[in-house]
Amino acid sequence: MTDIKSKIRTIPDYPKKGIMFRDITTLLGDARGFRKIVDELVQVHAGSGITKVAGIEARGFILGGAVSHQLSLGFIPVRKKGKLPWETIGEDYALEYGTDRVEIHADAVTKGDRVLLIDDLIATGGTAQAAVNLMRRAGAEVVGASFIIDLPDLGGRKRLEGMGVKVLTLVEFEGD
Protein backbone atom coordinates (compact mmCIF):
# COMPACT_ATOMS: atom_id res chain seq x y z
CA MET A 1 0.00 0.00 0.00
CA THR A 2 1.43 3.36 -1.05
CA ASP A 3 1.05 6.34 1.27
CA ILE A 4 0.15 9.18 -1.08
CA LYS A 5 1.15 11.99 1.27
CA SER A 6 4.65 10.60 1.81
CA LYS A 7 5.24 10.63 -1.97
CA ILE A 8 4.54 14.39 -2.30
CA ARG A 9 7.61 16.61 -2.03
CA THR A 10 7.32 19.89 -0.12
CA ILE A 11 9.49 22.74 -1.35
CA PRO A 12 9.72 25.67 1.09
CA ASP A 13 9.68 29.27 -0.16
CA TYR A 14 8.62 28.44 -3.72
CA PRO A 15 7.53 30.30 -5.78
CA LYS A 16 7.97 32.99 -3.13
CA LYS A 17 9.02 33.24 0.49
CA GLY A 18 6.51 31.80 2.94
CA ILE A 19 4.88 29.38 0.47
CA MET A 20 5.19 25.63 0.99
CA PHE A 21 4.92 24.26 -2.57
CA ARG A 22 3.39 20.77 -2.79
CA ASP A 23 5.15 19.05 -5.68
CA ILE A 24 3.35 15.98 -7.08
CA THR A 25 6.07 15.13 -9.63
CA THR A 26 7.61 12.77 -7.07
CA LEU A 27 4.23 11.04 -6.71
CA LEU A 28 3.80 10.82 -10.49
CA GLY A 29 7.29 9.35 -10.80
CA ASP A 30 6.41 6.52 -8.43
CA ALA A 31 4.60 3.82 -10.46
CA ARG A 32 2.57 2.50 -7.51
CA GLY A 33 1.77 5.99 -6.25
CA PHE A 34 0.62 7.18 -9.66
CA ARG A 35 -1.50 4.07 -10.14
CA LYS A 36 -3.04 4.48 -6.67
CA ILE A 37 -4.15 8.08 -7.22
CA VAL A 38 -5.60 7.34 -10.65
CA ASP A 39 -7.44 4.30 -9.26
CA GLU A 40 -8.84 6.33 -6.36
CA LEU A 41 -9.97 9.15 -8.65
CA VAL A 42 -11.60 6.64 -11.03
CA GLN A 43 -13.29 4.28 -8.58
CA VAL A 44 -15.49 6.89 -6.95
CA HIS A 45 -16.80 8.04 -10.35
CA ALA A 46 -17.17 4.74 -12.24
CA GLY A 47 -20.76 4.28 -13.35
CA SER A 48 -21.81 7.80 -12.29
CA GLY A 49 -22.93 8.95 -15.72
CA ILE A 50 -20.03 11.29 -16.40
CA THR A 51 -19.65 11.98 -20.12
CA LYS A 52 -16.33 13.91 -20.14
CA VAL A 53 -13.36 14.70 -17.93
CA ALA A 54 -11.87 18.21 -17.86
CA GLY A 55 -8.31 18.77 -16.65
CA ILE A 56 -6.89 22.14 -15.63
CA GLU A 57 -3.49 23.07 -17.08
CA ALA A 58 -0.95 21.60 -16.53
CA ARG A 59 -0.89 18.82 -13.92
CA GLY A 60 -4.63 18.38 -14.37
CA PHE A 61 -3.84 17.23 -17.92
CA ILE A 62 -1.77 14.33 -16.61
CA LEU A 63 -4.35 13.25 -14.05
CA GLY A 64 -7.42 14.02 -16.15
CA GLY A 65 -5.98 12.21 -19.16
CA ALA A 66 -5.36 9.09 -17.10
CA VAL A 67 -8.80 9.24 -15.47
CA SER A 68 -10.62 9.83 -18.78
CA HIS A 69 -8.72 6.91 -20.31
CA GLN A 70 -9.70 4.58 -17.47
CA LEU A 71 -13.34 5.68 -17.69
CA SER A 72 -13.31 5.50 -21.53
CA LEU A 73 -14.38 9.14 -21.80
CA GLY A 74 -13.32 12.16 -23.81
CA PHE A 75 -10.96 14.74 -22.29
CA ILE A 76 -11.33 18.54 -22.21
CA PRO A 77 -8.14 20.57 -21.71
CA VAL A 78 -8.80 23.72 -19.67
CA ARG A 79 -5.97 26.03 -20.75
CA LYS A 80 -4.60 29.43 -19.92
CA LYS A 81 -5.51 32.27 -22.28
CA GLY A 82 -4.11 32.07 -25.79
CA LYS A 83 -2.90 28.44 -25.68
CA LEU A 84 -5.65 26.79 -27.71
CA PRO A 85 -5.43 26.92 -31.52
CA TRP A 86 -9.11 27.18 -32.45
CA GLU A 87 -12.19 29.19 -31.46
CA THR A 88 -12.44 29.41 -27.67
CA ILE A 89 -14.72 30.48 -24.87
CA GLY A 90 -13.18 31.70 -21.66
CA GLU A 91 -13.73 32.75 -18.09
CA ASP A 92 -11.78 35.42 -16.20
CA TYR A 93 -10.89 35.02 -12.54
CA ALA A 94 -9.25 37.21 -9.93
CA LEU A 95 -5.65 36.83 -8.83
CA GLU A 96 -3.94 38.53 -5.90
CA TYR A 97 -3.00 41.31 -8.32
CA GLY A 98 -5.04 41.45 -11.51
CA THR A 99 -6.89 38.73 -13.38
CA ASP A 100 -6.21 35.63 -15.43
CA ARG A 101 -8.33 33.60 -17.84
CA VAL A 102 -9.00 29.94 -18.60
CA GLU A 103 -10.33 28.76 -21.94
CA ILE A 104 -11.71 25.70 -23.70
CA HIS A 105 -12.45 25.11 -27.37
CA ALA A 106 -15.94 26.28 -28.23
CA ASP A 107 -16.89 22.76 -29.33
CA ALA A 108 -15.34 20.90 -26.36
CA VAL A 109 -18.59 20.68 -24.43
CA THR A 110 -22.00 19.66 -25.70
CA LYS A 111 -25.12 20.89 -23.95
CA GLY A 112 -26.04 18.27 -21.38
CA ASP A 113 -22.52 16.88 -20.88
CA ARG A 114 -21.82 15.71 -17.33
CA VAL A 115 -18.26 16.79 -16.58
CA LEU A 116 -15.78 15.76 -13.91
CA LEU A 117 -13.17 18.48 -13.26
CA ILE A 118 -9.66 17.35 -12.24
CA ASP A 119 -6.53 19.11 -11.02
CA ASP A 120 -3.65 18.28 -8.71
CA LEU A 121 -4.43 20.74 -5.92
CA ILE A 122 -7.22 22.96 -4.59
CA ALA A 123 -5.99 26.06 -2.76
CA THR A 124 -8.12 29.22 -2.98
CA GLY A 125 -10.23 27.63 -5.71
CA GLY A 126 -10.12 30.57 -8.13
CA THR A 127 -9.01 28.59 -11.16
CA ALA A 128 -11.36 25.69 -10.40
CA GLN A 129 -14.27 28.07 -9.86
CA ALA A 130 -13.55 29.73 -13.22
CA ALA A 131 -13.43 26.29 -14.88
CA VAL A 132 -16.79 25.33 -13.31
CA ASN A 133 -18.36 28.60 -14.49
CA LEU A 134 -16.92 28.02 -17.96
CA MET A 135 -18.31 24.48 -18.20
CA ARG A 136 -21.72 25.65 -17.01
CA ARG A 137 -21.79 28.53 -19.51
CA ALA A 138 -20.99 25.99 -22.25
CA GLY A 139 -24.05 23.94 -21.25
CA ALA A 140 -22.43 21.22 -19.13
CA GLU A 141 -23.27 20.05 -15.65
CA VAL A 142 -20.20 19.78 -13.41
CA VAL A 143 -20.92 16.63 -11.42
CA GLY A 144 -17.77 16.81 -9.34
CA ALA A 145 -14.27 18.15 -8.90
CA SER A 146 -11.42 15.88 -7.82
CA PHE A 147 -7.97 16.82 -6.58
CA ILE A 148 -5.05 14.98 -5.04
CA ILE A 149 -4.32 17.73 -2.51
CA ASP A 150 -6.54 20.05 -0.49
CA LEU A 151 -5.13 23.08 1.32
CA PRO A 152 -8.20 23.57 3.55
CA ASP A 153 -6.89 26.73 5.23
CA LEU A 154 -7.22 28.55 1.88
CA GLY A 155 -10.92 27.74 1.47
CA GLY A 156 -11.07 26.49 -2.12
CA ARG A 157 -13.03 23.36 -1.33
CA LYS A 158 -15.70 25.36 0.52
CA ARG A 159 -15.83 27.81 -2.39
CA LEU A 160 -16.61 25.00 -4.87
CA GLU A 161 -19.05 23.28 -2.53
CA GLY A 162 -20.80 26.65 -2.15
CA MET A 163 -21.38 26.47 -5.92
CA GLY A 164 -23.04 23.06 -5.50
CA VAL A 165 -20.03 21.07 -6.75
CA LYS A 166 -19.13 17.82 -4.97
CA VAL A 167 -15.41 17.82 -4.13
CA LEU A 168 -13.13 14.81 -3.67
CA THR A 169 -9.59 15.19 -2.35
CA LEU A 170 -7.15 12.43 -1.46
CA VAL A 171 -4.90 14.21 1.08
CA GLU A 172 -4.77 17.47 3.04
CA PHE A 173 -1.89 19.72 4.01
CA GLU A 174 -2.41 22.41 6.64
CA GLY A 175 -1.26 25.96 5.89
CA ASP A 176 -0.45 27.24 2.44
Q: What confidence score (pLDDT) does residue 176 get? A: 61
Decide: 42 and 70 in contact? Cβ < 8 Å.
yes
Active site residue 96: yes
Distance CA 115, CA 22 (A): 26
Write down the pTM of the prediction.
Answer: 0.95
Domain-wise residue ranges, the chain: 49-172
Decide: 173 and 151 in contact? Cβ < 8 Å.
yes
Structure confidence by residue, pLDDT tens digits, 113-149: 999 999 999 999 999 999 999 999 999 999 999 999 9
**Domain 49-172 carries which CATH code?**
3.40.50.2020
Q: What confidence score (pLDDT) does residue 138 get? A: 96
Decide: 116 and 132 in contact? Cβ < 8 Å.
no
Q: What confidence score (pLDDT) does residue 2 get? A: 64
The residue from 9, 22, 91, 96 that is catalytic is 96
Structure confidence by residue, pLDDT tens digits, 46-101: 889 999 999 999 999 999 999 999 999 999 999 999 999 999 999 999 887 789 99
The residue from 22, 59, 79, 157 that is catalytic is 59
